[in-house]
Amino acid sequence: MSLIVFKVVLPPLLILAASLAGRRWGDAIGGWLVGLPLTSGPVAAFLAIQYGPDFAATATNGSLVGTSAQAAFSLGYALLTRQGWPLALVGGAAAYAGSGFLLQAAPLPHWGYFAVALVALSASAHLIPHREAVRSTIAAPWWDLPARMVVATTLVLTLTAAAAFVGAKTAGVLASFPVFGAILAVFAHRMRGAAMATQVLRGMVLALYGFATFFFVLGLLLVPAGILPAFLAALVATLLVQTGALKLIRRVPVTRTA
């Protein structure tokens, strides 16, 4: 019963805190925040508790595949922004599915998936158009925050329940789909145009270095060190990487808009 309570309470609280912070400090920072493992991190924790460290460690390979697929999503969406958000969203989702399917079948070691993720993120960050940053806050509809919280809780409950049927690696890939990054990009696209959506996506890509680090460290330590030490080490490593990514985002010249 206590595990169910945590599944229902923890993910929406994390999403709420990140969403409010993004609204407070702008959409580029919002993209940085949604790149954090706010949903997939809790999924990994519950997988470790329910199915054991070995199962969860295998799932981290799927999360690293998902990191590469998120880079593909961001680049695919960014390259299609001039065509409107519906086509850009479909293109990004197709890029995620295609790259995730191909990489999941690749028989790579844990570090190999991590290396591929870093290459994919670097390529995406380089290819996504970026010039002068625009700091703006999108006026989201009233249902935005409740919807994000409900989606986060539903994902955690569904994926942890289905993991035994779809397998550890597939569960990791599914948990990594950038639901909230896609939502934020679409809102930015609709309200402020293609340039703002591209900025959000690039912020998310830069944040995904921390995401990849989290699951790389977690996969290395879950079995030999145990669940709690592994998660603590992964969290510390992620925060260090994220600090560097945030400094990089803030170095870009900023233009303020209403």
- When the pLDDT of each residue in the chain is averaged and rounded to a whole number, the result is 80
Tell me the angle at which helices 27-34 and 2-25 cross, rounded to the nearest 10 degrees.
Answer: 150
Q: Looking at the predicted structure, is the pLDDT value of residue 254 above 50? A: no
Q: Looking at the predicted structure, is the pLDDT value of residue 234 above 90? A: yes
203 vs 22: which has the higher pLDDT = 203
Q: How confident is the model at residue 1 (pLDDT cuts 50, 70, 90)?
A: very low
pTM value?
0.80
CA distances from 28 to 41, 71, 85, 205 (A): 22, 16, 18, 11
pLDDT at 89: 92
Q: Looking at the predicted structure, is the pLDDT value of residue 228 above 50? A: yes
pLDDT at 102: 92
**Range ranked top by mean pLDDT from 124-128, 148-152, 175-179, 218-222:** 218-222
pLDDT at 225: 94
